[in-house]
Amino acid sequence: EPEVTQTPSHQVTQMGQEVILRCVPISNHLYFYWYRQILGQKVEFLVSFYNNEISEKSEIFDDQFSVERPDGSNFTLKIRSTKLEDSAMYFCASRWGAEAFFGQGTRLTVV
Amino acid sequence: AQKITQTQPGMFVQEKEAVTLDCTYDTSDQSYGLFWYKQPSSGEMIFLIYQGSYDEQNATEGRYSLNFQKARKSANLVISASQLGDSAMYFCAMREGGGGGADGLTFGKGTHLIIQP
């Protein structure tokens, strides 16, 4: 069964460093998303991407964040200068119909 | 105001019993979708069930059903014959604006369900 794949599963980074989180969505899906979940809290929407451009973004998704779909398969989230409060689980999701399918997440720890 | 409200932070249920997880939502859109996801301790988000706002029948998927009461803006998840493997966090979520747009999901705070033998 096709699935959304995220790499790496864990990433530890120094505050102020740039990180790139990678995702391979399900191949025939059209809509792509990033969400984050701070430990013990609810899942929060960051950004949606459709037709090679950002469709919607939340107030969390400020200038430190960017997304790219550099080729036909990968979808990346870049955080330019990480802060301690960026520590969270980051989920990529994709969909074609109603339901969104999530990757297993990347746990980002900023130290 | 919260768009998705889950009022049960935690629930303990005996194995084989049915369990209802509450979810109420708030939207002024006529077209929207309601979703339930399961998050086990391993952390992944597993899609369980979907209900469209125009669907007249309650959605069912195996042991999961969604009790959709549009006038009350509630979308409770019912799990029949609970199993130990059902122990997890359960999140209710909504997408506003219909199924065709790129809008993201708004999640509730979740209910931590523990099934006891």
Cβ within 8 Å, pair A49-B102:
yes
Cβ within 8 Å, pair A42-B35:
no
Region B38-50: mean pLDDT is 95
Q: What per-residue confidence (pLDDT) applies to B17? A: 97
Q: What per-residue confidence (pLDDT) applies to A15? A: 98
Q: What per-residue confidence (pLDDT) applies to B1? A: 65
CA A77 – CA A68 distance, rounded (Å): 7
Tell whether A73 lies on the interface with B, counting CB pairs under 8 A: no
Q: What per-residue confidence (pLDDT) applies to A2? A: 81
Q: What per-residue confidence (pLDDT) applies to A38? A: 96
pLDDT tier at B100, thresholds 50, 70, 90: low
- With a cut of 60, say whether residue B99 has pLDDT above it: no
Beta strands in chain B (DSSP E): 4-5, 10-14, 19-21, 24-25, 32-39, 46-52, 60-61, 64-69, 74-79, 88-96, 106-107, 111-116
pLDDT tier at A89, thresholds 50, 70, 90: very high
Contacts of A99 in chain B (CB under 8 A): 35, 47, 50
Chain B window 24-83: which residues touch A at a Cβ cutoff of 8 Å? Answer: 33, 35, 37, 43-47, 50, 52
pLDDT tier at B105, thresholds 50, 70, 90: very high
In this predicted model, what pLDDT tens digit does every residue of A28-41 receive, in sequence order? 999 999 999 999 89
Tell whether B8 lies on the interface with A, counting CB pairs under 8 A: no
Tell whether A91 lies on the interface with B, counting CB pairs under 8 A: yes
Nearest CA in chain A to B33: A98
Q: What per-residue confidence (pLDDT) applies to A71? A: 86
Q: List % helix, strand, coil for chain A (3-state, nearest 5).
A: 5, 50, 45
- Which of A33, A35, A102 is opposite residue B44, by nearest beta carbon? A102
- With a cut of 90, say whether residue A1 has pLDDT above it: no
